[in-house]
């Protein structure tokens, strides 16, 4: 079993990811728990940055090419904090079954 937590980091990414990692220290399931989120105080910041009308459209863009590539939109200031976690998910093959794309 795997767990994916989606979180609003509220401009406190480093503090929250540190706490997350501390909670998982020495747990036998630590490699199966992942956290993704945006590092912005308000979701409107991400909507403005990506020039989209709502979060549903943003999520479709972010997931469109997973697990093969990371959409350019992940590299903006509000989502860039997820790069290590996305890479960890890829290395463990989580993206392949989580997003279950049909080619």
Does residue 62 form part of some domain?
Answer: yes
Averaged confidence pLDDT in the chain: 86
Say if residue 21 is preceded by a cis peptide, omega within 30 of 0: no
Question: What are the Cα distances from residue 26, in Å, to 13, 33, 67, 87, 89?
Answer: 22, 13, 28, 21, 19
Q: Which domain holds residue 24?
A: 3-98
Give the tens place of pLDDT for each residue, 10-23: 889 999 999 999 99
| Residue 25 scores a pLDDT above 90 | yes
Give the tens place of pLDDT for each residue, 28-52: 999 999 999 988 777 788 888 889 8
Tally of domains in the chain? 1
Say what the pLDDT of residue 18 is: 95
Does residue 103 form part of some domain?
Answer: no
For 46, the enclosing helix (H) or strand (E) is helix 43-50
């Amino acid at each position: 079993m795997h767990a994916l937590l989606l979180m609003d980091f509220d401009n406190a990414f480093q503090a929250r990811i540190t706490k997350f990692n501390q909670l998982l220290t020495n747990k036998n399931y630590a490699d199966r728990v992942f956290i993704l989120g945006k590092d912005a105080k308000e979701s409107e910041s991400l909507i403005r940055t990506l020039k989209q009308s709502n979060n549903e459209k943003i999520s479709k863009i972010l997931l469109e090419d997973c697990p093969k590539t990371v959409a350019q939109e992940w590299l903006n200031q509000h989502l860039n904090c997820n790069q290590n976690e996305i890479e960890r998910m890829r290395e463990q093959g989580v993206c392949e079954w989580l997003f279950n794309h049909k080619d």
